[in-house]
Amino acid sequence: MIRVGPPVFFYLLPQNRAAVSIVCLPSNASFKHSDPSDGSVWLRVGIDHIPKSSGRLVSFGCDHSSCDILLPEGYPQKQCHFYIHPRTFEILLRDDTADYSTILIASNTAAETRFSLPDGQPRQRVVLEAIKNAHIKMQKALFMIGWAGTRAVAFEAARATSRFSPSVALGSHAADIFENGRIVHRRIRRLGTGSYGKVFLTVNLKTGDHLAVKVFAFAPEVEREGKDLVRQEVDLIKELSHVCLEAPRLLFISGC
């Protein structure tokens, strides 16, 4: 059973011996937690932790000067790190290796591959709480990401502390140059209903930015009777839309 303590962002639950050996390293004692009843151990990343590298939530690697959770000999000096988006407060995982040896396993189904770490630089992804059974693999070590019930409280505390302040995170990550290409995004919630469609809040899975996406839907009779107005609205959205988002298109439905 996980004990109650300072607000926690997430836990890393070891899934194999390589992961357990990392948890049990003396240098990681401040992150290690255990359950005496069954001997299970895990890593805890909470608001009380002071990161060695500004703008990062927690870093992994062999470099004692910059990494918070140290890895055994044979691992890269810098393996990966988590950080908090300075405006949306999404948690992102970034691979710091040259050989792509950090893997985010978001699901057992091929349809969910868009939630895994993509190719290209910087190689990172938003780690969504809604994706169940998410795992992170560092070389041979496999961990499951366990979200804490105090995550919301930890975020509120993070907003008020200089350790995770927007200015610090902006200095570390906001200047990243992302490759052009189709934005891969996921709906967070519905914002409302506008003319001829619904508007959703979505998250860009590559950058952690939040976007408003409008889905147009017209009954055939509406499109016929108000064709000019419909086209005007679609043309306006085209002018305002992000160049990497899917181009506006009409969706005709029946029974509107």
What residues are designated binding site for ATP?
214
Residues 6+ apart with CB under 8 A from 148: 2, 7, 8, 9, 10, 11, 46, 154
- In the sheet with 185-194, reading across from the earlier edge strand, the strands are 185-194, 197-204, 210-216
In Å, how far are 9, 27, 229 from 193, measured between CA atoms?
A: 33, 53, 17
* Among 112, 6, 101, 13, CA closest to 61: 101
Annotated binding site: 214
Radius of gyration (C-alpha) of the chain in whole angstroms: 21
Yes or no: say if 94 and 101 are a contact pair by the CB < 8 Å rule.
Answer: no
